[in-house]
Structure 1
Amino acid sequence: MPPKKKTPKAKTVNGDEMTNTVEKHSKEETNAIKDEEIKPEPESNASARKDQEADGKAPKKRGKDASTDEPRKASRRSNRSGAKSEPSKQQLLNYMISPAAAELTRPDDEIEDVQSRGEIKTYSASVLSPFEELLCAVILSRPISHRLGLRTIRTVLNDPYNFNSARSLKDAGEEKRLKSVYDARTQHKDKTAAQMGIIAEAVLDNFTSSSDKDGTELQKLRDDCGDDIGEAANQLKSHIKGLGKTGLEIFFRRVQWIWTAAFPNIDGRTADSLRMLGLPQDGSELEGLIEEHWKKLETKHLAGDGEEAKKKRAFVVLLERATGAQLEQKIDAVLNAAAEA
C-alpha cells in the first residue's frame, strides 16, 4: 500500500504580530481579500515601491516646456471607446466641479458607504485639512489599489477612529491604529499602521506651532518654508519615512488651493486624465480656461473664502474629478453627462 500522505500542519500566527483586539478580524479579512483588487494601481504612473526610495524634490509646476512631465504623444481619445456627445468647454468645466461629477467618478463601494453612513469624510468629495491630506497622500502612494486606498481613508478619518490630526493619531496608540487598518480590510496592514504612527510623531515634533498644537494645519512647516515649496518637500521627505515622489505629488496637488505657492500645479498622472477629457494639461492654461468661463459656472457650493480662493478650489476639484474618471474608467460617461447637463 502507498504511504499515507501527511496532513500539513496549520501555520500559527506570531503572537507579537497580532493583538487580541485584531484577532477577531482575521476570518473576515481572509474572506474579504478574495474579492479585492489584488493588482496594485497606485495613483501615479511611477512605481509606488520605487517612489518610496525617490528623492524629496517638490513637484514642478507643469508648463509648456516641462520635458519631464510632458504628456505622452497620443490622441486624447486613445483610452476611450467613444463618447456619444461632445460637451463645450463651459459645459465640461461646470459639470466637472459639480456634486454630480463627484458621484460619477467615485468608486461604487464609496457610494454605498456614503448612502449607508450618511455624512462622512471622503477623499473624493470632502474638504480636508493639510494634515488629513498628508495622511491620505501617504496611504494612496502605497502599493495597493486606488479603491483600497480610498476605503482605508474613509475608515481612519471617520467614526470610530477620527484620525483628523497628528495629536488624535498619536494618542490613539499602536493598537488602535492597527485595528483601524484591519477594519479597512486593506493590504500591508502592519506597515501602514506603523507609518501612520511615524507621520503623527513627525508632525507633532517638527510641524506644529502655538496656534496649531494638534498638528492639523502643518502651520510651522508653512511658516518656515513660505513660498519655497522645494524646501517644504525636503522637510516632509526628511522627517516622514516612506514619503516619496508620488506621495509629495499627491499632497501638493491637493493643498495648492490653500498653499498657493504650489499653484497651479498638475502632476503627470493627472495631466494624462485631462488629456483624455480634452482639457489643457498645462497649469496656467487650465487656470486661464477656468477664469474665462468663471462667471457662467455654478460655484456657490465650492469651498474658499472669496472668489480667488474658490477659483483655486475649482482647479483642484477639477484635477481630482479627472483622475477619478480615469481610474474608474468613466471618461466617456463624464463627457456624455457634461453634454447632457
Structure 2
Amino acid sequence: MSASQSAVAATLLDRHGSTYAREAGITLKDTPQPLYQLLVLSSLLSARIRASVAVAAARALFHDGMRNPRTMADASWQERVDALGEGGYRRYDERTATQLGDGAELLLDAHRGDLRQLREEADGDEQTLVQGLRETPGMGPAGAGIFLREAQAVWPEYAPRFDGKARQGAERLGLPQDPKRLARLAGDAGPAVLAAALVRAALEKKVAADVLEHAG
C-alpha cells in the first residue's frame, strides 16, 4: 500500500464517503424496515437513470409513508407513481410503481416482510442470496449487486464487496482493484462506504478529478 494510495483513499472518503443508503435517509441496520428500504433503493438505482434521481425518488417514497412492505403494498398505484414523480423518476415511474407494489406483496407473503429470512436461508452463500433477491419484481443482477454492496455494512459475511463499478472507480483513481487491499484502504469507514465512494468516482469524472486534486 503506497502512501499516495492511502492519501487518495483518505481524500475520497473525506470528500465523498457516504453510502447511497445514507444519502437516501436510510439508517441501515439489520432490521426489517431499513433492509426493505435498501431493497427499494437498490431497485431504483439499477435502472438506467442518474443515481441522484434514484436517491431522490427513494426519499420521496419514504417521505410519503412507504417505508416498509406493508405500507408500500397498501399505497395505491397512483400514490407510488406520484412519489416517484416527486423525485424526478418519471421515465420508468408507471412500471416501477407496479413492481414496487408486487414486490412488497411478495416479500410479505414469502418472508413476512423480513429480508433477514433470506439471509438465514442463504447462510453466507452469495449465489443463493442473489437468487432470492432476484425474485423481487424488477430486481435484476445489477440491483442485487447494489443491495449486497451496501448491505455488507450490516451483513459482514458478504464483505469486502467491491463490484465492477467500484473497481472501475478504483482504476480511475489509481487504486488497487483487489477487494482485500481496498478494504484495508477503507480503514474504519468500512468497505461499504469506500465502495459507494468509488462508484461515485466511476459515475462522475468530476468526483475523481476533485479527489486527485485535493490528494495532491
TM-score category (smaller protein): 0.7 to 0.9
Does the CA-based 8 Å contact 2:7-2:215 persist in structure 1? yes
CA distance in structure 2 between the aligned counterparts of 1:255 and 1:270, rounded to whole angstroms: 15
Cα distance, 1:126 vs. partner? 5.1
Q: Say which of 120, 123, 127 aligns to 1:230.
A: 127
Does the CA-based 8 Å contact 1:229-1:261 persist in structure 2? no
Query: What count of residue pairs does the alignment treat as equivalent?
Result: 208
Structure 1 segments, 4+ long, off by >3 Å, are 125-128
CA distance in structure 2 between the aligned counterparts of 1:148 and 1:284, rounded to whole angstroms: 31
Note the alpha carbon deviations across 1:85-106, whole angstroms, 9 max, x for none. xx733333333333x3259x99
CA distance in structure 1 between the aligned counterparts of 2:213 and 2:26, rounded to whole angstroms: 25
Cα distance, 1:320 vs. partner? 0.6
Does the CA-based 8 Å contact 2:57-2:85 persist in structure 1? no
2:157 matches 1:261: yes
**Structure 1 counterpart of 2:168, one-letter code:** D
Show structure 2 runs of 5+ residues with no match.
Answer: 29-33
CA distance in structure 2 between the aligned counterparts of 1:283 and 1:95, rounded to whole angstroms: 19
Does the CA-based 8 Å contact 2:165-2:202 persist in structure 1? no
Show structure 1 runs of 5+ residues with no match.
Answer: 1-86, 107-120, 209-214, 295-310
Q: Superposition RMSD on alpha carbons, in Å?
A: 2.7
- 1:1-341 to 2 correspondence within 5 Å? 88-98=4-14, 100-102=15-17, 122-123=23-24, 127-128=27-28, 129-157=34-62, 159=63, 161-186=64-89, 187-208=91-112, 215=113, 218-237=115-134, 239-290=135-186, 294=187, 311=188, 314-329=190-205, 330-339=207-216
Does the CA-based 8 Å contact 2:159-2:191 persist in structure 1? no
Note the alpha carbon deviations across 1:96-140, whole angstroms, 9 max, x for none. 333x3259x99xxxxxxxxxxxxxx624x8543221111111111
Relative to the length of structure 2, the TM-score reads: 0.84
Note the alpha carbon deviations across 1:40-61, whole angstroms, 9 max, x for none. xxxxxxxxxxxxxxxxxxxxxx
Does the CA-based 8 Å contact 2:73-2:104 persist in structure 1? yes
CA distance in structure 2 between the aligned counterparts of 1:144 and 1:164, rounded to whole angstroms: 22
Cα distance, 1:262 vs. partner? 1.5
CA distance in structure 2 between the aligned counterparts of 1:183 and 1:97, rounded to whole angstroms: 30
Q: 1:57 maps to which residue?
A: none
In 2 relative to 1, CA 257–314 (structure 1 residues): closer, same or farther, beyond 3 Å?
A: same
SS in 1 for 2:40: helix
Which structure has more helix as a fraction of its residues? 2
SS in 2 for 1:97: helix
Does the CA-based 8 Å contact 2:119-2:129 persist in structure 1? yes
Larger radius of gyration: 1
**Structure 2 counterpart of 1:240, one-letter code:** T
Q: 2:31 maps to which residue?
A: none
Does the CA-based 8 Å contact 2:161-2:191 persist in structure 1? no
Cα distance, 1:236 vs. partner? 2.0
**Structure 1 counterpart of 2:193, one-letter code:** V
CA distance in structure 1 between the aligned counterparts of 2:149 and 2:81, rounded to whole angstroms: 28
Relative to the length of structure 1, the TM-score reads: 0.55
Does the CA-based 8 Å contact 2:169-2:199 persist in structure 1? yes
CA distance in structure 1 between the aligned counterparts of 2:200 and 2:66, rounded to whole angstroms: 24
Note the alpha carbon deviations across 1:147-199, whole angstroms, 9 max, x for none. 32232123223x2x132221221222323112212222321211011111122
SS in 1 for 2:169: helix
Percentage of matched positions with identical amino acids: 26
**Structure 2 counterpart of 1:101, one-letter code:** H
